Structure 1
């Protein structure tokens, strides 16, 4: 049985088309490549904020550091029961020089403004923070701290969206440059395997892997 480990490595194989040395990543590494995975049941807020700052505003952050600050400054009992709030995030952002506000706006308006933000969604009764990374006419790209980067039809997401998003106001240029637009959507529709193997070699890949018992 062929098993892909949880770390990246180089897979080499020969074929009549030539020699390939291809970096291969696990599914987890691909979907969490630009999203921090939450470490606790109630830490999706700190993981989402760390993802937003690191991957959209070039401000290296960690879930752990943000968690510690927001937990120390916030209502600990409420945080344990319900997790962090958008207010906790707004106060943290202010402490590091970012002006932010919560806006009650539709998804089309977010697309028009063209900056990423954090929103609270209701996934079948489970309240959860995700990063809105990009929107086009029919789909949305989310940075989900529990699932990684995911593409969802807009009509589906509208059933989960609560109508409020936290947006950073004073770094519009950085926000717009990192917001995923139509011309960049295509790479997020590619399968995990395609992300690690050149498209031209996919057919060869399937017939050159060793079968069980082979060295």
Structure 2
């Protein structure tokens, strides 16, 4: 599936960090900010490796090394908490499909400004939280029930809720090619599923799409 659509570039001031007021939500937000600041402790990062005595001139040669994790998460905003897959999936879609410079924290802070933090911590963000945040940016968020035929004809990425043995998880549906479904999973990285396996893990048959200016048809 290829992306389609031509839109004007989005205003540079569209994304603003939303700071929740000091209320009952504040302790949860502070803890969340601290968690995100630490980042994943197990993430391996790319590095420059220096090789000496390789070139005839004796010069030092530098090679860029990309870790397996970085390669797996190319084009994805990884989730930093167990409950933030919805925020990370939306951040992925906004950043790579609309070229909007946004991170997971910005999206989470914006959604938490209107959501119940206790419910979010237990159940994660909902599609309603995602829809409200998107509309706050001046964009439109729409959820559609789609048939298999309609799903194969989609030309834009969308957010879907997978349910694997009771574990519910938001991912970005990038495209479908033949019998393979290509997903951007904020927890596991880029992956593909057989079409039948995807359909079995997607009981709602609903896809959430973002509609707005600045759409990059070559992003996915």
TM-score (structure 1 length as normaliser)? 0.71
What is the CA-CA distance between 1:10 and the residue it aligns to?
4.6
* Structure 1 or 2: more helix by fraction: 1
Instruction: Give 1:23's match in structure 2, choosing from 49, 60, 64.
Output: 64
Aligned position for 1:118: 159
User: Which structure exhibits the higher relative contact order, with contacts defined as CA atoms closer than 8 Å and separated by 6 or more residues?
Assistant: 2
Quote the residue 1:212 is aligned against. Answer: none
Q: Does the alignment pair 1:43 with 2:120?
A: no
In structure 1, what is the Cα distance between the partners aligned to 2:73 and 2:215?
21
Compared with structure 1, are the counterparts of its residues 79 and 109 closer, same or farther at alpha carbon in structure 2 (3 Å cutoff)?
Answer: same
Deviation at 1:83, TM superposition (A): 0.6
- The separation in 1 between residues aligned to 2:104 and 2:115, in whole angstroms, is 16
Match of 2:135 among 94, 106, 128: 94
CA distance in 2, matches of 1:11, 1:108: 52
What's 1:74 paired with? 115
Change in 2 beyond 3 A, CA 1:94/1:105? same
Match of 1:168 among 198, 202, 210: 210
**TM-score, scaled relative to structure 2:** 0.70
**Separation in 1 of the partners of 2:123 and 2:153?**
32
Question: Number of paired residues?
Answer: 170
> What CA RMSD, in Å, does the superposition of the two structures yield over aligned residues?
2.2
How do residues 150-161 of structure 1 correspond to structure 2 at under 5 angstroms? 150-161=191-202
- How far apart, CA to CA, are the structure 1 residues paired with 2:88 and 2:209? 16
Q: Report Cα offsets for 1:58-77 as digits up to 9, x if no partner.
A: 11110011111101211222
Aligned with 1:161: secondary structure? coil
Q: Is this contact kept in 1: 2:161–2:169, CA < 8 A?
A: yes
Match among 151, 175, 178 for residue 134 of structure 1? 175
Question: How far apart, CA to CA, are the structure 2 residues paired with 1:100 and 1:69?
Answer: 15
Q: Deviations over 1:156-212 (max 9, x none)?
A: 1111013111112334x8264434xxxxxxxxxxxxxxxxxxxxxxxxxxxxxxxxx
Alpha-carbon deviations, 1:1-35, whole Å to 9, x = none? xxxx5324357697xxxxx9753311100011211
Q: Give the alignment partner of residue 84 of structure 1, picking from 121, 125, 137.
A: 125
Q: CA deviation at 1:151?
A: 1.4
Residue by residue over 1:103-135, the C-alpha shift from the partner in whole angstroms, topping out at 9 and shown as x without a partner, is 111354233121001010002210000001111
Checking the alignment, whether the CA contact within 8 Å between 2:46 and 2:64 is kept in structure 1 is no
